């Protein structure tokens, strides 16, 4: 946990995957978590969290359609970043790759 400050925000949101978390949706997740002033982690089934900024780690979750992904964010823009990532997970299209 980072040091608290006036702007430190911690947000958690659960999202049910609309499609398997393959390369393309994983890429969308990482893009949404990059370049925003927040740190975002994902976890599935209580397993270790992964950094959403690592597309390979996000793919490595091996999460499939119907599973619930817990999205956790910390930082000044955590609410925005977590909402964006959760939205991608809920609306991912079921396409190969």
Partner 1 sequence: MTEASTSSEIPTVGIVLISHSRAIAEGAADVAAQVSAGAVRIVGVGGTEDGRLGTSLDALVGAVEKVSAGAGVLILPDLGSAVLTAKAFLADQEDGTDVMLADAPFVEGAVAAAVTASGGATLAEVVAAAEGARDVRKL
Residue closer to partner 1 by CB (options 11, 50) is 50
Binding flag, residue 97, partner 1 (CB under 8 A): yes
Shortest Cβ 4–partner 1 spacing (Å): 25
Helix%, strand%, coil% for the chain, nearest 5 = 30, 25, 45
Most distant CA pair in the chain, distance: 43
Binding flag, residue 59, partner 1 (CB under 8 A): yes
Site for partner 1 in 35-54 (CB under 8 A): 35, 53-54
Binding flag, residue 82, partner 1 (CB under 8 A): no
| Whole-number Å distance between alpha carbons of 64 and 74 | 25
* Strand ranges for the chain from DSSP E: 10-16, 39-44, 50-51, 68-74
Binding flag, residue 31, partner 1 (CB under 8 A): yes
Residue closer to partner 1 by CB (options 31, 90) is 31
């Amino acid at each position: 946990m980072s040091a608290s400050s006036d702007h430190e925000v911690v947000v958690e949101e659960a999202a049910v995957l609309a499609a398997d978390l393959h390369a393309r949706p994983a890429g969308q997740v990482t893009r949404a978590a990059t370049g925003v002033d927040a740190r975002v982690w994902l976890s599935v089934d209580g397993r270790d969290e992964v950094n959403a900024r690592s597309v390979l780690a996000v793919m490595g979750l091996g999460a499939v359609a119907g599973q619930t992904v817990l999205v956790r964010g910390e930082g000044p823009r955590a609410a925005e970043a977590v909402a964006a990532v959760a939205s991608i997970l809920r609306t991912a299209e079921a396409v190969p790759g």
